[in-house]
Structure 1
Amino acid sequence: MRLHITGGTLVTGAGAAPADLLCEDGRIAALLEPGQAVAADERLDASGLLVFPGFIDPHVHSRDPGITEKETFANSTAGALAGGLTTIFEMPNAVPPVTDAALFERRAREHGAVASVDFGLWGQALGEENLDDLGGIVEAGAVGIKLFWGYALDRATKRLVYTYADASPDEVIQPPKVGGVYAIVQRVAAAGGLFSAHCEERGVLAAAEATLPHGIVSYADLLTARPAIAEVAAVTAAGEFSLDSGCRFHVVHVSARRTVAAIAALQAAGAKITAEACAHYLVLTDADVERVGPAMKVYPPIRTADDQAALWDGLADGTLGTIASDHAPHAPAEKAKPLAEQPAGIHGVETLVPLVLDAMHRGRLRPEQVARLLSEQTAATFRVDHRKGRVRVGNDADFTLVDPARPWTIEQTKLHTLHPTSIFDGFSGHGAAVASVIRGELAMRDGEPVGAPRGALVRALPEERG
């Protein structure tokens, strides 16, 4: 199978230039001069379009299997494809979570049967319960090992438990203390893996919540209960462990100015630390609760305009190297509950790309920055760039074709998620993914999947340790 992509402007982290592309048997076979004649089975006209290396979302919670009342992997990957992504990395907090190599392979088979885009898998750290299994998960090809810092786990199902002070050891696995986190980091480092964590230090959160005798009623209360210092404390501790052990450490969903500063300091000290921004923190601030409503509740919370400005600065200077959705959907009835009672998390996998492209349209990001943030740096961070994220002969022929001026309005009823709701419903902008190619085959056109689901697992390469 030979696909010839013609007439487009190829965008990489190095810049943009007219180029044609030849894809053969799922791989990039050649970069061609515009108009160069070649034999092909199919041609895709990209005239007037920007051709990016396929976009990657490294942070998706489909919660499948076991929590499919909220979302399914089939739905989340269909949404990813419709929005312009070609690869996602699935977080491990399904039931059961990916906690050993056998579960990794089982999950890969299950997801491969329904996936609309290619996918990587995260493994989950349980503290002492699976320390000896972490190396096997890394060796199997996990993109990273995730710790839900400060959260307990139901002992039977391994599902996250948010309130556990009075729970017995027979009911829950207590979250590891700081020394336990260090032990996890050391094991991941020894295996050549990447460690990541939901960074909010539980003791700090408990102290902050204690200052609210009336509980969380307003959005200002939520910010008080989950202060930036909780994020900074966890990032700093894990960052120092990274510096000590040489372990790669990735900070997910950075939300605060102080966190950006802490990450920059650790990077300057030589830590192998990378970090991601999320679209909702880049687009919304606490002031938007008046128009969006309490359904914008996420952890860490969406903070102030000053925090948002620091995130944009962090993207500009390279402190933050990826942009993700943190797609973490819930059923509408759950998100309709009062602020204190509703779960944290939003739909985002289908809206990530248009929100980033609108920032490009408005001049907030240059096209080559988008190529780095949504493709190249993400692939390199998670060590899948031997296949994904780069326009290089031999790599998978994954491309996202973008009309940089096409207007769009998000209509939640048209989303492909299990529960088509979005806090971005009604938002408008410019810049849309109009087609996607996955391993040399047209997979999406004008926001709708083309053909049957064809997603497959991509395995990360462990870092070689001296």
Structure 2
Amino acid sequence: MRLHIANGRLVTPAGILDSDLLCTDGIISAILDRGAEVEADERYDAAGKLVFPGFIDPHVHSRDPGMSHKEDFDHSTHGALVGGVTTVLEMPNAIPPVDSVEVFEERRRQHEQSAWTDFGLWGLALGDANIDQIGPMFDAGAVAVKLFWGYALHRETRSLVYNIGDEKPENLLMPPPNGQVLQLFAEVAARGGVLAAHCEDKDVLASSQEALGHPIETYADLLAARPAVAEATTISIAAQFAKETGCRFHVVHLASEQGLDAVRSAKRNGISVSAETCPQYLTLTDAEYPRVGPVMKVYPPVREQKDQDALWEGVNEGLISSLGSDHAPHTVEEKARGFETQPAGAVGCETFGPVLLDAMFRGRTTPERLAEVVATDTAKFYGLYPRKGVIRPGSDADLVVVDPELRRTVRNEELVAKQPVSPWNGFALHGGPVATVLRGEIVVRDGEIVGERRGRFVRADHTAAAGDRVSA
């Protein structure tokens, strides 16, 4: 199979190239002079369009299995593909969670049956309870392991319990103490892998909720109950653990200027701390709450304009090395509840690419930097480069063709998601994907799937040379 992408503007590590692209048997085989005559089975005219490496979404909760009434891997990867994502990295906290190599292998086999995109898998870290499984999960190809630092789990299902007051104590597995967490850092460091965490200090949250003095009723209450210092505190502790052990530590869904300052301080001191942020923190603020409503509830919460501006600075100066959707669906009915009982999380993998491209076209970043944080640097960080994340000969031919002139309004009723409740419902977007190529085959045209389901598992390789890795 030979695919010729003609007349496009290729977003590459060497800059934007006015060149053609030849893909052969799923691999990028050549970057060609514009107008080159080649034999091909299919030709796509990308005149006037940008051609990005296929986007990688490293932060997806598909709820499958165990909570598949909320979402499943079929719907999440279908939506991701339509939005220009060619690889998703699936989080480990489905039911049962991916806390052992046995569950890891079973989850891989299950998702291979329903994947529209290529995919990698995270493992779940529980402290001493599964520290013996960290190495085997990395050996099996895990992209990273995640610690829900400070959160209890349900004893039977191992599902997250955000509000422990809602459960009987005998039903809870309490979060590992910091002594165990330090040993976890050491174990991940010994394996050369990545440890990531949800960073909000549980004690700061508890005291802030108590100081509020009443149930959360308004968006201002939510911000008061979950202050930015909770995020910065956990990041600062993690930095000391990373310094002590040499572990590569990654902050997922960074949400605040204060948290970013903690990351900056660690990096200035040569400590292996890196960060991801998400479209919700880059495009929404507390001022949008009257328009978006309670569906905007995510943890950590969307904050103020100063936080959004600081996060964009972090993206553009390289402090933030990756972007992820944190696609975390709940039912339409659950997201319609008030603040106190509504679960945190939002639908996001289908709008991940379009929302970020809209921000790019509005001047928040450049095509080159966007390609780095949604593809190249993400692939390097998670051990997928150079197979994924870049337009260069020898890499997988994963591409997204972007039309700068496209205009689209996000509408819940048009989303692929099983529970279509988007924080961006009604938002008008500028520019967006018009074609997605997965391993050399056009699989989406103008928002519609046109190819076969062909997603497959991608093993992470954390032995990559230092020059081909974005370090924490």
Q: Report the counterpart of residue 146 of structure 1 in structure 2.
A: 146
Q: Report the counterpart of residue 223 of structure 1 in structure 2.
A: 223
Q: What is the percent sequence identity of the aligned residues?
A: 51
Matched residues in 1 for 2:463 and 2:243: separation? 16
Deviation at 1:315, TM superposition (A): 1.0
Deviation at 1:327, TM superposition (A): 0.6
Deviations 1:388-433 (A, max 9, x none): 0012222111001100221111111010000122121110021110
Contact 2:283 2:359 in 1 (8 A): no
How many aligned positions are there?
Answer: 466
Matched residues in 2 for 1:339 and 1:122: separation? 29
Matched residues in 1 for 2:446 and 2:241: separation? 46
Matched residues in 2 for 1:109 and 1:448: separation? 26
Deviations 1:225-244 (A, max 9, x none): 10111101111111221122
- Secondary structure of the residue that 1:333 maps to in structure 2? helix
- Secondary structure of the residue that 1:364 maps to in structure 2? coil
Matched residues in 2 for 1:10 and 1:406: separation? 18
Q: Report the counterpart of residue 378 of structure 2 in structure 1.
A: 378
Deviations 1:57-97 (A, max 9, x none): 11111110001111111000111011111111111110011
Query: Which structure 2 residues correspond to residues 421-436 of structure 1 after superposition, within 5 A?
Result: 421-436=421-436
Contact 1:12 1:372 in 2 (8 A): no
- Secondary structure of the residue that 1:211 maps to in structure 2? helix
Amino acid at match of 2:244: D
TM-score, normalised relative to structure 2:
0.96
Q: Report the counterpart of residue 409 of structure 2 in structure 1.
A: 409
Q: Report the counterpart of residue 120 of structure 2 in structure 1.
A: 120
Which structure 1 segments of 5+ residues have no match?
none
Which structure 2 segments of 5+ residues have no match?
467-472
Deviations 1:6-46 (A, max 9, x none): 11110124310111111112111111111222222222221
Matched residues in 1 for 2:4 and 2:344: separation? 44
Contact 1:141 1:459 in 2 (8 A): yes
Does 2:442 align with 1:460? no
Matched residues in 2 for 1:380 and 1:178: separation? 29
Contact 2:441 2:451 in 1 (8 A): no
Amino acid at match of 2:107: R
Q: Report the counterpart of residue 470 of structure 2 in structure 1.
A: none
Matched residues in 2 for 1:330 and 1:463: separation? 37
Deviation at 1:464, TM superposition (A): 7.0
Segment drifting more, 31-40 vs 326-335: 31-40
Contact 2:295 2:421 in 1 (8 A): no
Deviation at 1:463, TM superposition (A): 3.7
Query: Which structure 2 residues correspond to residues 3-402 of structure 1 after superposition, within 5 A?
Result: 3-164=3-164, 171-402=171-402
Deviation at 1:450, TM superposition (A): 1.5
Matched residues in 2 for 1:227 and 1:59: separation? 23
Contact 1:192 1:464 in 2 (8 A): no
Deviation at 1:172, TM superposition (A): 2.4
Matched residues in 2 for 1:276 and 1:465: separation? 22
Contact 2:242 2:249 in 1 (8 A): yes
Amino acid at match of 2:200: E
Matched residues in 1 for 2:32 and 2:2: separation? 14
Matched residues in 2 for 1:405 and 1:166: separation? 49
Matched residues in 1 for 2:451 and 2:10: separation? 25
Segment drifting more, 157-166 vs 80-89: 157-166
Deviation at 1:111, TM superposition (A): 0.6
Matched residues in 1 for 2:462 and 2:17: separation? 33
TM-score, normalised relative to structure 1:
0.97
Matched residues in 2 for 1:317 and 1:346: separation? 27
Matched residues in 1 for 2:81 and 2:397: separation? 15
